[in-house]
Amino acid sequence: MTISVGDKLPETTFVTMTENGPEQVQSKDYFAGKKVALFSVPGAFTPTCSAKHLPGYVEKEADLKAKGIDEIACTAVNDAFVMGAWGKAGGADGKVTMLADGNGTFAEAIGLTMDGSKFGLGTRGQRFSMVVNDGVVEQLNVEGPGEFRVSAADYMIEQL
């Protein structure tokens, strides 16, 4: 079952890269008491994700916060080391929290996986964005295969 607007996010564990190494983050704790702009990419360092998706949220951080977003987060079915390196390479430090979903547990729990096998990626999370308020989905934008439009930072800003 795919998550919908009004649903509470499932409890799962992400991993973030910190100066002390990888640290687990419980979804219920991370999303509690704040409004989060969360976006998902099929893979760190992949073309659209690196050229458009992450840079859009990095560049539009102030605009999103001006619209009531407390925090911006990116998730992908990649390990914390890759997500940490990609965040640094993309200028996300201090602007976008990189939430590694290394085993795809979160993507699977919300019903938004995709089969990237023909690209050598295996099962990944779909490209999407959502606004999560205190753990509840307020806005959900899922891209069609190969598309990049409704999960972009500019689109989210227009919807807020």
Q: What is the CATH number of the domain that holds 47?
A: 3.40.30.10
> Measured between alpha carbons, how far is 100 from 116 in angstroms, rounded to an integer?
17
Segments of the chain scoring below 50 in pLDDT: none
Domain membership flag for residue 131? yes
> Measured between alpha carbons, how far is 58 from 74 in angstroms, rounded to an integer?
10
- Check residue 115 and give its pLDDT: 80
- Can you give the residue range of the structural domain that contains 89? 13-159
- Check residue 145 and give its pLDDT: 86
Domain membership flag for residue 1? no
- Tokens 């911006």 correspond to what residue? 72
Domain membership flag for residue 7? no
Domain membership flag for residue 3? no
Do residues 41 and 135 make contact, with C-beta atoms less than 8 angstroms apart?
A: no
- Check residue 148 and give its pLDDT: 93
- Tokens 């987060």 correspond to what residue? 73
- Check residue 124 and give its pLDDT: 83
What total of structural domains would you count in the chain?
1
Structure tokens at 31: 């999303």
Domain membership flag for residue 28? yes
Domain membership flag for residue 75? yes
Stated pTM of the model: 0.95
Domain membership flag for residue 8? no
- Check residue 48 and give its pLDDT: 84
| Contacts of 158 by beta carbon, 8 Å cutoff, 6+ apart | none
**Phi then psi dihedrals of residue 82, to 5 deg:** -65, -45
> Measured between alpha carbons, how far is 99 from 110 in angstroms, rounded to an integer?
15
Domain membership flag for residue 105? yes
Burial readout 26-42 (b: 16 or more C-beta within 10 A, e: otherwise):
ebeebbeeebbbbbbbb
Q: Is 74 designated active site? A: no
From 9, 49, 54, 132, active-site residue:
49
